[in-house]
Structure 1
Amino acid sequence: MENTSPGKLPDPAAAFDRNPHDGIVATSHAPVTFRYYDLVMAAFVAILLLSNIIGAAKLTFVSVPFWPAGWWPAPDGTFIYGAGILFFPLGYVIGDVLTEIYGFAKARRVIWVGTAAMMFLAFMSYVVVSLPAFDGWECSASGFGGTRPVTSNADASIPGGAICQETYASVFGSTWRIVVASITAFWAGEFVNSFVMAKMKVWTKGRALWSRTIGSTFVGQGVDSLIFYPIAFFGIWTTDAVLTVMVTNWALKVVWEAVLTPVTYVVVAKLKKAEGVDLFDLDTDFSPFATSEKQAPPKPL
């Protein structure tokens, strides 16, 4: 009964279970807590940021000797791709693990955290690159104050700070198009990936994990590539170059996901056992903008 004795206001916590000794109020339905969710989220965001900082700044290639001559997208058998995709696929594994074990609602939270982290990274990079460089700043590009490397900046009259600033900006500076393309493509691609993963789990009744990981990557990373490359590079690269790199990166991402499928199986099996649940998104709100994490109760293993 609610306390309505004279001189006392109703207790607003009376409708909840409460420990009278510590005053902590809790709803009658305790939230499901996971042991490793925060760790998985941290790993996902770390790989996302490192891939964008380290890998995105470099284009590399791989030659496939058995590729038929003249076939698109590599007429000479040379596939060009961003170096970041060598490690970024680890993020696919973690993204699949998030949805497979913790469900779409929990994955949605991580995607928004990742999006916010990328926005802050872009802002921080812009501010730091924009700061004026001290002339006495020395780095490898300026010879650390000694003999200048044989480059276009070998002229000793050029301050070391100017050389280092140019080098720094070439790595950490990005045009507004690349920033917008990167954040938008990640946001859309990851939500599509998680949605497909969650729906396929229900359709397959939790079987054939490989079909969900590869299928969701095919669709999600297809969306990612179709958004990123046109926004970032149309009008800067030739149309053929944009299409070639876009298709090559998409294909390599899907191949990487297939190669890493055994790793995904091991990680999913161990985490499901550790968490003790197997969650299906039966009545989840799949809107990216939903704030509720309400899901069907996890199925105990």
Structure 2
Amino acid sequence: MIQQILKDRPTKLFIGFAAFFVANALIAECIGGKIFSLEKLFGFDPVNLTLFGQSGLSFSLTCGVLLWPLEFVMTDIVNEYYGPKAVKRISYTAVALISYAFIMFYASIHIPYADWWPASKANQGVPDMQVAFNGIFGQGMWIILGSLVAFLVSQVVDVFVFQRIKRATGEKKVWLRATGSTLVSQLIDSFIVLTIAFKLGSNWTWAQVIAVGCVNYMYKFTIAILLTPLIYFAEARIEKYVGKETAIKMKKAAMER
């Protein structure tokens, strides 16, 4: 039985997608505590936008956004070849394992450290290792909750929009269903996470939520458009790996699920 699974290329491909999907999501959550300046990354000054009465806005983004676009690309690819049930399965698996990881982070923060463990690395700019450890792995519960809820809801929306567009267009216009579903789901994701993490968790005003959400969505919108060719590249590689006839059968079966 296991030998048949390991020899079946569509099965191996799905296992690879699922593993990378979960790992990518977990890494994105872990590095999400750091905020970076997109403008400074490319050598520009902050743009200082003013939206909804909120001034001084710039593209200050969580490092997690570097990886999340890949999640939605993979979502569309899995949806195309394996169907919505497969997307939901890997999404639920990702949420469950991320939740498990944060439980382990929480436990490790509160476990007493050994006497010989270096409590300080002042020569490296870290005066208190325990505080540094807590700061990296101890993200606020509202942020964790907001991120997980936003991820799960946006995945479900992405699947729904993708399938609706595909049923309307058939096998044509891959770019429309892939990019269109991502643009809709990312819009929802942007505002859900801010509402839960900062409106409920930090008493932000609605003006702050909407203003920051719009700035974040500008970035996500642009990345979604730029990554569209990646869908075509991935489809070409998949067709080459499993064979054209098998790829056609996979797409047909995905529509029936």
Of 114, 119, 128, 1:134 maps to 114
Matched, 1:100 2:70: no
CA contact (8 A) 1:99 1:194 kept: yes
| d(CA) in 2 for partners of 1:77, 1:107 | 35
Matched, 1:57 2:57: no
| d(CA) in 2 for partners of 1:268, 1:212 | 14
Q: How does 1:239-254 map to 2 (within 5 A)?
A: 239=205, 240-254=207-221
Letter of the 2:217 counterpart:
W
Identity across aligned pairs (percent)?
26
Letter of the 1:95 counterpart:
T
User: Which structure 1 residue ranges, 4+ long, deviate > 4 Å from structure 2?
Assistant: 64-67, 73-77, 280-283
Matched, 1:121 2:101: yes
CA RMSD of the aligned region, Å? 2.8
2:4 matched residue in structure 1: none
**Comparing 102-111 and 237-246, the one that deviates more:** 237-246
What SS does the aligned partner of 2:139 have?
Answer: coil
Change (3 A) 1:241 1:59: farther
Note the C-alpha offset of 1:116: 1.1
CA deviations on 1:86-111 (whole Å, 9 max, x unpaired) are 22211221111110111111112111
| d(CA) in 1 for partners of 2:93, 2:22 | 8
Aligned positions, number? 238
Of 36, 49, 56, 2:13 maps to 36
Matched, 1:267 2:234: yes
Matched, 1:179 2:144: yes
User: 5+ unaligned residues in a row in structure 1: which ranges?
Assistant: 1-21, 23-30, 154-162, 284-294, 296-301
Letter of the 2:182 counterpart:
T
What SS does the aligned partner of 1:81 have?
Answer: strand
What SS does the aligned partner of 1:137 have?
Answer: coil
Letter of the 2:137 counterpart:
F
Matched, 1:277 2:255: no
Note the C-alpha offset of 1:77: 6.8
Given the two structures, how large is their TM-score scaled by the length of structure 1? Answer: 0.70
| d(CA) in 1 for partners of 2:170, 2:124 | 64
Change (3 A) 1:226 1:77: closer
Higher RCO (C-alpha 8 Å, min separation 6): 2
